[in-house]
A and B are shown apart, each in its own frame.
Chain A
Amino acid sequence: MADLRRNLLAYRTVLASRARSQASHRASFRMDLVGAVLIGLIEFAEVWVLYTAADEIGGFTLAQVLLVFGLSDLAFSLADLVAGHCDNLPVYVRAGTLDVFFLRPQPVLAQLITSDLSLRRLARCLVGATAFTVGLVLNDIDWSAATIGLLVLALVCGFVIFAAQFVTAAGLQFFLVNGAEMTNAFVYGGRYAATQPATVWPRALLVVFGAIFPVAFAAYLPVSTLLGVPGVAGLPTWLGWCAPIAALWAVVVAGLCWRWGLRHYRGAGG
C-alpha cells in the first residue's frame, strides 16, 4: 500500500511540474487555450452548418445531434487530455527517447502517458461540455435516475473507449513508425465517426466503428436509447446500455496491441 502511494506520488509530482511549466509562459499559454477553443468551435460549426442546411440527417435534428456531438466531443477531449500524447510515440522511437523509459522501474505506458499533460486540451473540453449541456436543455428528456445513469455511463465508457484507441494506436505505431498516420483513421476518424448518427454509414463502416473500434457506443447509441430515436435497422433500442461491454472490448484490444508492440520493439540503436 505504501509502495503504491509512493508510486502515485511520483506520477503526481511529474504531472504537476508539466502543468506548471506550461502555465508559466503566459502569453503563449493563453494563445494555446484560445486556439483550442477556436478549433472546437469550428468543429461544432461544421455540424451546425450541415444540420441547418438539411433539417434532419439520419433521423437526427440539430438539437438531437447536439447531444451526440457534445457527449462524444467531451469524452474524446478528456481522453485526449489523458492519453493524447501517445501520438508522440513515433517521435520518441525515432529519437531514441523511448529507450530511456525502459531503464526506469515504472511501466512504459504509464511513463508515456505522464510524459506530457497538455493543459490546452482542458479548454477543448469546454466546447463539448457546452454543446452537451445545451443539448440537454433543448431536448425533451424524461429525467429519471435511469436517464442520469445512462448519461454518466456513456461519458465514462466514451472516455475509456477513446483513451483505448490512443493506446491501440501507440501499440501499432511500434510497427508503423513512418506510417503513423494510418492510425489516424480510427483515432481521429473515430472521433469524427462518433459525432455522426450511425444510420448514415455504409455496412463496412458499421463493422469498423460499431464493433472493431466501437466509437458508436461513445455517444450515438446511448443518445438513441435516451431519446428513443429508431437506430440502425435490426438493432434493439436498448443497445446504448451495452457501452460498458464495448469499453471492455476496446481496453482488451488496446492491451493486446500495446503488449504486442512493446515486445516487437528492439530499440532504435544507440
Chain B
Amino acid sequence: MRSLPPPARNPYWRFLVAGFRGQSAYPLATLAGLVANATFGLLKGGIMGAAVESSGGELSGYSAATMAAFVWLGQGMLGSVNFWGGSDLQARIRSGDVAVDFLRPVSVQAAHVLTDVGRGLFALLPRGLPSVVIGVLVSSMALPPDAAAYALGLVSLLIGITISHATVYVVATTGFWLVETRGVSVFYMALSGFFAGLFTPIYLFPDWLLTIALLTPFPSMMQFPIDLLSGQATGSAAWQHLGVQLVWLAVVLAVGHLTTRAGRRRLEVQGG
C-alpha cells in the first residue's frame, strides 16, 4: 500500500473526503437542484420583498437588502443541510446493513455524520455559491460587512451543517427501536425547516412561537449562519449565536452517541 500523508491516513478525514467526492459524480443532478433552488428563490424573494415593501421598507428588523440576503443565502444552504430527515443510516438500520458498520474499527456515528457533512460541504460549490451569485445579480442583497463577518459566518455555516447532519443521525437511530421510522422523518421534515428559518425568518414569528423556535436546535442549522453571513448579527450577537450553536452541536452529538450505544444493544438482525 502506498503511504499517504498524515491527514489522509486518518479514516475520519477520508469519510469526509469520500462524502465530498461522491457528490461530484452527479453533475446533472446538481444542475437540476440548482434550477429548482433558483426558481424557489425567485418566488420566495418576490413574496418576501413585497412583504418588506408593504410594511414601509422595514419588517421585523429586515430591510429589502437583508431580506434578499436571507432568501438567497437560505437557498444556497439548502443543498448542504438536511431538512427532509432521511439518511443512509436510516436505510441501513432497516435493512440490517448497519451490523457491518458496527464491525468496523471506527465510530459509526463519526463515520456517518462526517460522510454527510462532506456531501454538504461539496454542495456549497455547485449549489451554494451559484445561488448566492444569482441572488446578487437579481436583487440588492446585503453581503457580509467585513472580513471578520465572512470568517465568523463561514465557521457558523460549518457548525450549522454539522448540527443538521448530527441531528438527522439521531433521527435515524430511532430505527433501533422503531420498525418504521418514516413517521419520525416526516415529523422532522415538517418542523425542522419551519423552525430553522427555511421559509420565513424566525424573527417574523409571534413572540411565543419565536421562544419555542429558540429552544430547538433548528435555528442553529440555518437562521444563525444566515444572520452572521448577512451582517444581521454582528459583535457580541454574533459570538452569542456561535456559542448557542456550539452548545447544540455538543448536545446532538452526545445524544447521538448515547442512542448509538443503547441501540447497538437492541439491534437484532434477522436472516443470514
As a 0/1 sequence over residues 203 to 247 of chain A, the CB contacts with chain B under 8 angstroms (1 = contact) are: 011001000000000000000000000000000000000000000
Q: Are B36 and A189 in contact (CB under 8 A)?
A: yes
**In the bound complex, do residue A57 and residue B54 qualify as a contact, i.e. CB atoms below 8 Å apart?**
yes
Known: A53-B204, A192-B40. A181 touches B47 (CB 8 A): no
Interface of chain B, helix or strand or loop or mixed?
helix
In the assembled complex, B190 has its CB within 8 A of some CB on chain A: yes
In the complex the two chains form, is A193's CB within 8 Å of B43's CB?
yes
Residue ID in chain A nearest B44 by CB atoms: A192
Query: How extensive is the interface on chain A, given as a class?
Result: 35 or more
Would A46 and B199 count as touching, CB distance under 8 A? yes
Could you tell me if B186 and A53 are in contact, using CB atoms closer than 8 angstroms?
no
Given the complex of chains A and B, what is the CA–CA distance between A45 and B182 in angstroms? Answer: 23
Total interface residues on B, CB under 8 Å, equals: 41
Task: Specify the chain B residue showing the minimal Cβ separation from A51.
Answer: B51
**Any A CB within 8 A of the CB of B246:** no
In the assembled complex, A49 has its CB within 8 A of some CB on chain B: yes
Query: B60, A32: Cβ atoms under 8 Å?
Result: no
Q: Please, how many angstroms separate the alpha-carbon atoms of A31 and B179 in the complex?
A: 13
Contacts of B43 in A (CB 8 A): 189, 192-193, 196, 201, 205
Contact among A31, A53, A58 with B200 in the assembled complex (CB-CB below 8 Å): A53
A169: shortest Cβ distance to chain B, in Å? Answer: 11
Q: Contacts of A31 on B, CB cut-off 8 Å?
A: 180, 182-183, 186
Known: A58-B50, A196-B47, A200-B50. A46 touches B200 (CB 8 A): yes
B29 touches A58 (CB 8 A): no
Contact A32 B186 (CB under 8 A): yes
Cβ contact within 8 Å between A200 and B47 = yes
Q: Whole-angstrom distance between the alpha carbons of A200 and B48 in the complex?
A: 9
Query: CB-CB < 8 A to A205: which residues of B?
Result: 42-43, 46
B28 at the interface (CB under 8 A from A): yes
Judge if A137 is at the interface, Cβ distance under 8 Å. no
Chain A to chain B: the 4 pairs with minimum beta-carbon distance, closest first: A35-B186, A31-B183, A179-B32, A182-B32
A-B contact pairs, 19 of them (CB 8 A): A38-B190, A41-B190, A42-B191, A46-B200, A49-B199, A52-B206, A55-B55, A57-B51, A57-B54, A178-B28, A181-B33, A182-B32, A184-B36, A188-B36, A196-B46, A200-B46, A202-B42, A202-B46, A205-B46
Q: Which residues of B contact A (CB under 8 A)?
A: 26, 28-29, 31-33, 35-36, 38-40, 42-43, 46-52, 54-55, 59-60, 138, 180, 182-183, 186-187, 189-191, 193-194, 199-200, 204-206, 209
